[in-house]
Structure 1
């Protein structure tokens, strides 16, 4: 069985393209901080916790060494949103030698969606992508920030990217096998139930 998947490629070509979201309200306890030490354990946790119900499966088979090699590259950064000290979501970015920075992953854990945290986290992440070379002096200055999202991602993802100033430069439609949602723990995901 297959499903039709639409993938949108979006970009900003100047730092002034960014249209920041308002930060969550005072007293929300939301903070965004860079994970200063590359940590395969943290990154894999964020990847599975955010992507488990969005069919993120491409990195599930990565070994510890693969995670470590990717995260240890100059210009790869992970920025984590916390609410009251609890990880709420993340944005991961990676540069290329030509000055392009890809937002490789972005999203929130299910319990933190729909509360204004995503727009703020994306705003911070994009701003940090534009000034990436200031933290990595051997990198070329950022000339473009780009990402891709698809119809398997959350229902508000594309609109959030557009509101932050990204423009679509390519759209692809493909037929893919019906996704299996592995959840944070492959083979053990159960959707939260309300009481």
Structure 2
């Protein structure tokens, strides 16, 4: 018999670039850099997805094939930005343009060892600013009019507060029962 758990999902948005309240930029000696992954790489994107989401039950992309990853990553306007600390990947933010001048932050998070160190606020600030500027790189795209994201009660404990501090406003809250599955860990059999 499978058990369920109540999961609350919060949907948040910004409707103007002026909504963004950027986090403090780490000083140059911190070793923190935010870099765009410009070459679509299913291997690297899957690594980021499992490394960041393994302990918070990200499972929806675990079954994606290599071709499905490549198809998603090669869509015009999809961008992945990676936070590094002294050359080591610490987390990422993934942007997906949608019709009507909307950009969704499809995934955002930090590897567990890097959480709680003020990297996430900086990464979210940089990624959100980029979402507002996506039409600059893709001139055939209409200007961004809305940036949105959802987070849930299974995500990291600082996620919702970080979005709110960056100027995102709540527009929907839902609670649903979902199957209670164990966190997959960063690779098969790793656990948490």
User: Which bracket does the TM-score occupy, shorter chain normalised?
Assistant: over 0.9
Q: What is residue 66 of structure 1 aligned with on the other side?
A: 68
What is the aligned counterpart of 2:148 among 143, 146, 149?
146
1:183 to 2:180 alignment? no
Q: What is residue 31 of structure 2 aligned with on the other side?
A: 29
Q: What is residue 95 of structure 1 aligned with on the other side?
A: 97
Q: What is residue 10 of structure 1 aligned with on the other side?
A: 12
Aligned residue pairs: how many?
190
Distance in 1 separating the partners of 2:28 and 2:131 = 25
How big is each residue's C-alpha offset from its partner over 1:37-94, in whole Å with a ceiling of 9 and x where there is no partner?
1111110000000000000000000000000000000010000001111111000010
Q: What is residue 124 of structure 1 aligned with on the other side?
A: 126
What is the aligned counterpart of 2:59 among 57, 60, 80?
57
Distance in 1 separating the partners of 2:28 and 2:181 = 39
How big is each residue's C-alpha offset from its partner over 1:89-116, in whole Å with a ceiling of 9 and x where there is no partner?
0000100121100000000011111100
Residue 188 of structure 1: how far off its partner (Å): 2.3
Taking structure 2 as the reference length, the TM-score comes to 0.97
Residue 137 of structure 1: how far off its partner (Å): 1.4
C-alpha RMSD of the superposition: 0.8
Secondary structure at 1:53's aligned position in 2? coil
Distance in 2 separating the partners of 1:94 and 1:77 = 7
Residue 140 of structure 1: how far off its partner (Å): 1.1
| Runs (4+) off by over 2 Å | 186-189
**Unpaired segments of 5 or more residues in structure 1?**
none
Distance in 2 separating the partners of 1:138 and 1:180 = 43
